[in-house]
């Protein structure tokens, strides 16, 4: 049971911290400085976890590199969007809900189209 609920709880807890940090951080700060610091911490934590898990250099193929690069670009876009949105007055109670609803609708459409292509 814990193996099923812990990722869910981690995602929820991290999501709440994510929005609180974006909403409260920076004020008039340069968003690139804010995101650089955030990614420096994420890099350090990821590198430490990688090392603690045995490290080693895995065989990385093009697909892993391409998807990792896309994930990084998407993460920057998401975080910059929320950062700028909160700075322009988005309400913390509705910004995530509206964005998640739009994303869910688009992913449902993509999923339906993907299913038809099989």
CA 95 to CA 75: how far, in whole Å? Answer: 17
pLDDT tens profile 19-42: 999 888 766 778 999 899 999 999
Tokens read off for 83: 């950062």
- What is the model's pTM? 0.80
Tokens read off for 98: 């509206």
User: Which has more pLDDT, 96 or 58?
Assistant: 96
Q: What is the DSSP string of 37-97?
A: HHHHHHHHHHHHHHHHTT-------HHHHHHHHHHHHHHHHHHHHHHHHHHTT--HHHHHH
The whole-number pLDDT of residue 44 equals 96
């Amino acid at each position: 049971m814990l193996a099923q609920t812990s990722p869910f709880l981690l995602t929820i807890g991290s999501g709440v911290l994510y929005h609180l940090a974006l909403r409260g951080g920076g004020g008039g700060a340069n968003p690139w400085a804010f995101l650089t610091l955030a990614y420096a911490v994420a890099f350090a934590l990821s590198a430490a976890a990688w090392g603690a898990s045995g490290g080693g250099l895995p065989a990385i193929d093009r697909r892993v590199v391409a998807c990792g690069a896309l994930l990084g670009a998407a993460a920057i876009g998401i975080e910059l969007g929320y950062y700028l949105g909160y700075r322009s007055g988005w309400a913390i109670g509705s910004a995530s809900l509206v964005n998640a609803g739009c994303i869910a609708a688009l992913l449902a459409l993509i999923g339906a189209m993907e299913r038809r292509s099989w």
